[in-house]
Chain A
């Protein structure tokens, strides 16, 4: 363990990441997860030296790959750390080298070997109309695939609002009969909502599993409370302007340049549960409200129908 740890910090150092930076990340992640600071060393351990990496089977159904792309942007830990040293990403169509029947073999072997133990991550909604005829991989419908793989997993994590709630393909009139995985299969899933979600919330959920052996506590929509426990509005940096009655009423205005509250140009922050304003995207770079764009409420079910037209006050 000591040696492995040393090797781990050497590797970090080589990338220009100091031990201090790394501990800072672990502190940040631990806080994001809502755990007490006594967990920080344990969080560090999870990244330093897992004995056998837990197997992840990542299914792509009716989706746009935006959630996978979001995870690729993870900087602490880097995505290569996640893939090479933390997790065993046995099946993931966007990054895997194998294709065709060789890919199918990998999927079935991973499921067989790790029955009841692997984490199934689902990206994308399930087409249910016409026997699932509107979406297929290897000749099998998304519905068949989800039915076959999901129940064999230790747990199902839905990454993104599509697998969580159906999202855009399920927006009215929902031509393909798309549904979230939980609804389509009648199972309980952990839902990392967002379009796409912040990768830190996925990483936090996985670390929770590795650390405590269970998936995190969730709200009534299956969303981890550590990330989705409060509204955007609760923690918005522009909240002070809201309280002072200082609003942007037109894009490009003087008020917009001053960073006033976006409520009157349609911000859905008061109705939306997520931690965007706290953790921000692309490793703390920004988030939509900071860029002057009203929140569209992408972590709420049916936001495409319930929150539109977007640019109108709630």
Chain B
């Protein structure tokens, strides 16, 4: 007998997501992903000053902070045809790199870890054995029996208070938790250490951006932080970059590998088929040639050779979303007529509509975006910065490359790219120093706002491929549209009935206890969903048709 399970709210994500699955014979046989909120920032942007757009769109999300700001100024740079100075390119790259560092650490330890780590079991751990385990698997700067005794005592005091706070009523003791108590204690200790580390890491944004979340220093034409190109500010940035990278190298990656070694079966669960990356981190003015994170598409898990990705091949479907019509359209000709009213959630009918997310497709196919796509594209191109760490992980875990297309692979890829980008960032800081030494302190290139123009900014950010398109008329925003990573990953079905990546990935997931569907959370969280980002474009009153055309 098939049974339906609804998980709503999905917690430990950004935004409001509802997941419904059908379970039969202890496995998921069907799945539906639904975004439950929208606000309409793209509509709010119409008629405004194009230079202001980045402030607005950055408020799409405070978790993926910065990314919409940079995507927006890039779209405006492109529209007004301004070439930003080298210092601005480096600082923008450094701030984006900092976002990857921060965001992924928080995701692994604070949003995802509790799917694999049973905190309650940590209370039973032997602190001396935990210390030995810690010495064995990690190079963490903290350890020793006393350290773990103190952490355990702290957790005990907390549990005995009877006020369990964020740890109340979870799936503790679930049979799918596989770590021994000592590994659970180790992970719980690092959960707390990572909370502190992320607060420090966020200061990278504050140094050149004024604050985090929502740094403020980007402008079309460059950056505003001209007064911060001083030795002490740059040194502070470099120091935090190093400290963060040390943590990633000595704690995050070892923890990832240690936990993964108990969950190798997840290399066969949560599998998807196609992958898309726009790529990012331009190392020169040339794009996409100089992108440190390369651009490409992988179809049918073919790692032989990626295809160069073409933004012209993207369409957005609305047939199963809460918008009028069924026609799939290129985002440039996209039209959005949202239902005016309280939408009916319908996953039963063949043409039922069930989400505020649209369904983006590349050549008609759903594509996964995000860390796994980044890593796979770099790996398939054979670039050594990307290939070496992937091979290292495969070898350490003793799993084949085939196991990458999975929940395990997705979570591992996130760690791998944090390491790879962190490694590169230190070189970029030194490049900035060398450039200033040479006497180049330019941070901004002035421009004239044209009466009529259009532009696109293609980016790849912690959650995946992100594109912003702007159309300018009378020096104002005529149209603004963005196609966002979580829209690619967490979409509903398209007009052709094809499942979105998360829907596809959920199918086949074993469910030990339908009342406590821990396994669903594992795969859903492996995408690091951001639903506030994923839903946009509306005008319920006028039902106006919005058209955006590309550059």
Contact = CB atoms under 8 A, between A and B. Distances in A.
Contact of A100 (B37, B44, B60, B517): B517
Contact of A168 (B44, B154, B203, B226): B44
A169 B60 CA distance: 10
Nearest to B240: A285
A72 B49 contact: no
B16 A252 contact: no
A103 B8 CA distance: 9
A284 to B, nearest CB: 9
A100 B10 contact: yes
Nearest to B44: A171
A138 interface: yes
Nearest to B211: A281
5 contacts: A65-B63, A72-B106, A195-B214, A251-B221, A291-B216
Contacts of A286: 206-207, 209-211, 228
A105 B38 CA distance: 25
B9 interface: yes
B359 interface: no
B498 interface: no
A79 B200 CA distance: 12
Interface of A: 11, 14-15, 52-53, 55, 60, 62-70, 72-75, 78-80, 83-85, 87-90, 92-100, 102-106, 127, 129-139, 142, 167-169, 171-176, 178, 195-196, 250-253, 256-259, 281-283, 285-293, 296, 304, 308-312
Most buried by B among A70, A92, A287, A292: A292
A285 B8 contact: no
Given A11-B150, A100-B10, 18 more contacts: A64-B62, A64-B63, A66-B63, A66-B65, A72-B195, A88-B163, A95-B110, A142-B37, A167-B59, A168-B44, A169-B41, A171-B56, A251-B219, A281-B210, A282-B203, A285-B203, A288-B217, A309-B52
B196 interface: yes
Given A66-B59, A251-B443, A252-B442, A92 B166 contact: yes
B169 interface: yes
Contacts of B147: 14
A168 B214 CA distance: 13
A168 B39 contact: yes
A93 to B, nearest CB: 5
Given A95-B110, A168-B56, A282-B211, A100 B6 contact: yes
Contacts of A78: 195-196, 199
A260 to B, nearest CB: 9
B196 A80 contact: yes
A250 B418 CA distance: 36
A134 B62 contact: no
B94 interface: no
Contact of A291 (B62, B154, B210, B539): B210
Contacts of B224: 251-252, 256, 291-293
A14 B12 contact: no
A75 B532 CA distance: 27
Contacts of A132: 342
Contacts of B413: none
Contact of B169 (A84, A105, A127, A288): A105
B169 A292 contact: no
Contacts of A309: 48-49, 51-52
Contacts of B222: 251-252
A290 to B, nearest CB: 6
A250 B446 contact: yes
Contacts of A64: 14, 59-63, 532
A175 B12 contact: no
A285 B43 contact: no
Contacts of A138: 8-9
B219 A97 contact: no
B9 A293 contact: no
Nearest to B113: A97
Contacts of B342: 130-133
B52 A310 contact: yes
A290 B236 CA distance: 15
Interface in B163-184: 163, 165-172
Contacts of A171: 44, 56
Contacts of B198: 72-73
Nearest to A129: B540
Contacts of B442: 252
Contacts of A69: 62-63, 65, 212-213
A175 B44 contact: yes
B214 A99 contact: no
Most buried by A among B106, B161, B210, B444: B210
B55 interface: yes
B541 A173 contact: yes
Contact of B216 (A65, A134, A250, A293): A293
Most buried by B among A64, A70, A168, A287: A64
B495 interface: no
B206 A296 contact: no
Contacts of B444: 250-253, 256
Interface in B220-236: 221-229
Contacts of B203: 282-283, 285
Contact of A99 (B7, B38, B211, B215): B7
B114 interface: yes
B11 A289 contact: no
Contacts of A136: 16, 36-37
A176 B200 CA distance: 37
Contacts of A287: 210-211
Contacts of B282: none
A99 B228 contact: no
B217 A95 contact: no
A66 B213 contact: yes
B29 interface: no
A47 to B, nearest CB: 15
A291 B8 contact: no
Given A138-B8, A173-B44, A88 B62 contact: no
A133 B38 CA distance: 10
A53 B229 CA distance: 45
A175 B210 contact: no
Contact of B51 (A97, A195, A310): A310
A216 B195 CA distance: 29
Interface string B95-123: 00000000000100011001000010000
